[in-house]
Structure 1
Amino acid sequence: MTTTERRYDIDWLRVITIALLLIYHIAIVFQPWAPFLAFIKSDTSMESIWIPMSALNIWRIPLLFFVSGMGVCFAMRKRSGAQLLQERSIRILIPFLFGMFCIVPLHFLIWKSFYNQDLAYMTNPSHLWFLGNIFAYVLILLPLFLYMKKNHFRIKSSLNKWFKSPLALLFVMIPFVLEAILVNPNPFEMYAMTLHGFILGLLAFFFGYIFILAGETLRRSLMKWKWYLLALAVGMYTTRLLVFELQSPNYLMAIESNLWIFAIFGFAFQYLNKGSKTLSYLSEAAYPVYIIHMAMLYAASYFIVPLQIPAILQFVLINLFTFAACFVLYEFVIKRSIVLRPLFGLKIRVKQKLELKTQEIH
C-alpha cells in the first residue's frame, strides 16, 4: 500500500455511520424516555423502532472511534507529531469549542422553549463530546504512535504475522471485554461523557490505528471471514433480544459490538473501496452535518411533533427536514464561507485563499 492511496471504504464508513447517527437520534424522539435525555418527545411512541436501533446502538459510536483512529494512522504517514497536533487542533479542537459555545446552545434553547422552561444555558458539549474525546486520544496516544512510526517496519511485520489468523481478533476483543466488566456501565450504550465511553473510545481509537498499520493481512482476513463474523453478530443480537430483552451482560455486549464492527469492516473493505463524486461531496459534508444536526433535529421536532398526524409520518417528516436542512445549510452557507469553513472543520479552498489574499491587498 502506498502512502498516497486513498481508502474510500473508510470514507464511506464515516459517511454511513454519521447518517445512521442522525436516524438514531431522530428515533429517540419517539421513545417514552426521550425527555430524560433532553430530547423533544412525541406524544405517540414507536417503541418497536427501538428494536433495530438497539442492534446498531452498541457499535455505531465504537465504529466511529475505530475510523477516527484509522484516519490518524493515515495522517501520521505524512506528518510529524507537531504537524499532527497542529492539524488536529484546527480540524477538531476549534470546531469542538465553536460548536459547544455557538451551536449546541441552539438545540437546548429550542428544547426549553418547547417545554416552556427558562431560556438559560450551561456550557455543555452535548453530542460534540465525541470530538473532545478524539482530541484527548490524540494527545494521550501520540507518544505511542510516534514510537510505532519510528519502528514502522518491525511492528508492521509483527502485526502481519499476528493477523494471519482470525483468532487474533479474539485478542482484540479482550481489552473491550475487560473494560465492560471492570467499568460495568449501566446501560452499556451510555457513551457520552462517561468513563465507559472514554475508555471504550480510547481502545477503539487505538485499534483503529493498529488495523491500518497491520495492512493487507488484516484486510484480507476480515474480507474472508466477514460472513462468519456477521452470522455470529446476528446470533448474539438475536439472543440479546429474545433471552435478555436487549440488555445482556456487559461482557456479551462488548463481544457483540466487536463482532458487528469486524463484520462491517470486512464488507466495507470488500465492496466500498470505490471513489465517486457523491462520496467526495458527502465525505466533506459529513463533519459539518454532524455538528449542526441536533439543532436541525430539534427545530424539526418543535414544529412537527405537535401536528396531529401518525407517529410514522412524523418520523419520516423529521428525517426529511433534518437531512434537508443540514445539507442546505452546508451547501449554501457553511461550504461557501471563508469564515465558517474552519469553524466546521473544513479546509479553506485554494480559490477562497486567493480571494482572501486579494481582499487583504485591497
Structure 2
Amino acid sequence: MNTNRHYGMDWLRIGAFALLIFYHIGMYFVPWGWHVKTPHPMDWVQIPMMATNSWRLPLLFLVSGYASAALFAKLGGVGPFLRSRSARLLIPLAFGMIAIIPVQPWIELVTQHDYAGGFLHFWSRDYFGFGTLEGIVLPTWQHLWFVVYLFVYTLLAAMVLAAIPERARVAIADGAARLLAGWGMLFVPLAAWLTILFAFPGYRETHALFDDGPNHLHYLVPFFIGWLLRVRPALFDTVARCWPVAAVVAIAAYGYVAWALWAAPGEGPPPEGVVTLFMAIRLVQGWAAIVALVGVADRFANRDHPGRAMLAEAVFPFYIIHQTIIVLVGYWLLLGGVGPLASFLVLVAATIAGCWAFYLGGRRVGWLRPLIGLQRKARDRPTALCQPSANISGG
C-alpha cells in the first residue's frame, strides 16, 4: 500500500458532502415526498436534482471505503479499527437521534398529518414510543441512516479481515485489481449494479437497515472499490486512462435522464417488478460519473491547501446538523408564505451559517466533540486535524 495521503480523495469527500447539503435544500422544492415541502412544488427542479441523484450516495460510500482502508492500515489491527469506528460513529448517531433528529418527524407530522401536539409533547410522549405514528417509525435516524450503514459495512469489513488470512486477503485484492484493470473499472461495477437491478426489479430504498438488502448490495460495490483503491493505488492509473470516456458517457446518459423528465415530469414510478430503460440509463450515468469524478480528483485536486484540514474535520458535524436546519427553516418559511426564490436564498444562507456555528461552537467544548463526530482533543497531538480518523468517511 502507498501510505502517501491522497488529497484528491479528501477534496472529493468534502465536495460530495457539500453537494449533499444543496441536494437536501432542493428537496424542499421538488415534487418528491420529504419532511417539509413548499406549498407549490416545481416539476422542473427534478432535472437538476437528477444530475446527481444516481451517484451522490454511492460516491460517499466509495470515499468512505477508501478512508476506512486508510484507517485500518494506520491502526494496524481489527480490534483498534472497530473501537475507533464504534466511538466515532455510534456516539454521534445516538446523540443525533436523541437531540438533533426529533424536530424533523415532528414538523412532518404537523405539516402533513395535522399533528396537534407541540414539540416538547412530541419528544417526551411520542418520539420514544418505539412504534409508528402516521406511518413514521419512531424513534428515527432520518438522514443519519448513512452513519448506520457505514458502521455496518465497517463491521462487515472487519469480520472479513479477521476471518481471512493475510495471504488470502492479498490474493483476493490482487485478483479484484486485475478484474478492474483496463476498462474493467468502468464496466465491471456497472455490470454488478445492472445485475442487482434485474435481480430485484423495482426495489425501493427504505434506509431501515434490515429490509434494504438490494440497496446494501448496491452500496457495497462502491464501498469495496473505494477500499481497493487504497490498498491497490495502482488502480488510479486505470482510472486515469478511462475517466475522460466515463465523463462523456455520464453526460450523455444524463442527457437522456433530463429529456425523460422534461417529457413526462409528473410520471409516477413504474409498476412493481418492472425494469425500465430509464432505470438502467440512470445506473450508467451514476457509475460513469463516479469514475469521472475520481479521475478528476486524482488528476487535478491531489494537492494540499491550508483550509483542507479544517474542511475535512467539519464534514461530519455539518452532516449531522444540516438537514435539521433545512427542515426547521423550511417550516418557518412555509408558515410565513415566503416565495420560492427567497426561500432558496434563505435556506442556503441559514444552512451554511448554522452548520458553521454548530461545528465551530462544538469543537471548542471538550465533552461536545465526540457527540458531534470529532476526535477528542489531545494536548500532545497538534496535528489531529489532519488525521484520517477525524472524518465520517474514514474513522
Measured against aligned partners, the alpha-carbon deviations of 1:122-175 in whole angstroms (never above 9, x if no partner) come to 211111111111111122232434548555655555455444412443122222
Cα separation, partners in 2 of 1:45 and 1:352, compared to 1, 3 Å: farther
Matched ranges for 1:219-234 at <5 A: 219-234=236-251
2:369 alignment counterpart: 341
Distance 1:164 1:175 in 2: 16
Matched ranges for 1:82-161 at <5 A: 82-114=79-111, 117=115, 118=117, 119=122, 120-121=126-127, 122-146=138-162, 147=164, 149-151=166-168, 154=171, 157-158=174-175, 161=178
Measured against aligned partners, the alpha-carbon deviations of 1:161-214 in whole angstroms (never above 9, x if no partner) come to 444412443122222111111122456xx4633333322122221121122222
Cα separation, partners in 2 of 1:227 and 1:303, compared to 1, 3 Å: same
How many positions carry a matched residue from both structures?
Answer: 346
1:353 CA displacement: 9.5
Q: Which ranges of structure 2 fall in alignment gaps of 5 or more residues?
A: 128-137, 266-275, 383-395
* Aligned mate of 2:258, from 231, 241, 246: 241
Distance 1:342 1:176 in 2: 36
2:219 alignment counterpart: 201
Question: After TM superposition, which residue ranges in structure 1, 4 or more long, deviate above 6 angstroms?
Answer: none
| Partner amino acid, structure 2, of 1:137 | Y
Matched ranges for 1:1-362 at <5 A: 2-3=2-3, 5-34=4-33, 37=34, 39-78=35-74, 79-114=76-111, 117=115, 118=117, 119=122, 120-121=126-127, 122-146=138-162, 147=164, 149-151=166-168, 154=171, 157-158=174-175, 161-186=178-203, 190=205, 192-193=207-208, 194-216=212-234, 218-243=235-260, 248-332=277-361, 334-351=362-379
Comparing 42-51 with 113-122, which one deviates more in the overlay? 113-122
Distance 2:312 2:102 in 1: 26
With structure 2 as the length reference, what TM-score do the two structures score? 0.80
1:337 CA displacement: 1.4
In 2, are the aligned partners of 1:163 and 1:214 still within 8 Å (CA)?
no
Distance 1:223 1:148 in 2: 32
| Partner amino acid, structure 2, of 1:198 | H
With structure 1 as the length reference, what TM-score do the two structures score? 0.87
Greater helix percent: which structure? Answer: 1
1:251 CA displacement: 3.2
1:254 CA displacement: 2.3
Measured against aligned partners, the alpha-carbon deviations of 1:34-72 in whole angstroms (never above 9, x if no partner) come to 4xx3x2111232332221111101100011011111111
In 2, are the aligned partners of 1:180 and 1:254 still within 8 Å (CA)?
no
1:357 alignment counterpart: none
Cα separation, partners in 2 of 1:42 and 1:202, compared to 1, 3 Å: same
In 2, are the aligned partners of 1:45 and 1:311 still within 8 Å (CA)?
no
Measured against aligned partners, the alpha-carbon deviations of 1:316-337 in whole angstroms (never above 9, x if no partner) come to 11111011111112112x1111
| Partner amino acid, structure 2, of 1:141 | A
1:339 CA displacement: 1.1
Q: Which ranges of structure 1 fall in alignment gaps of 5 or more residues?
A: 355-362
Percent sequence identity is 26
Report which structure shows greater RCO (CA 8 Å, sep ≥6): 2
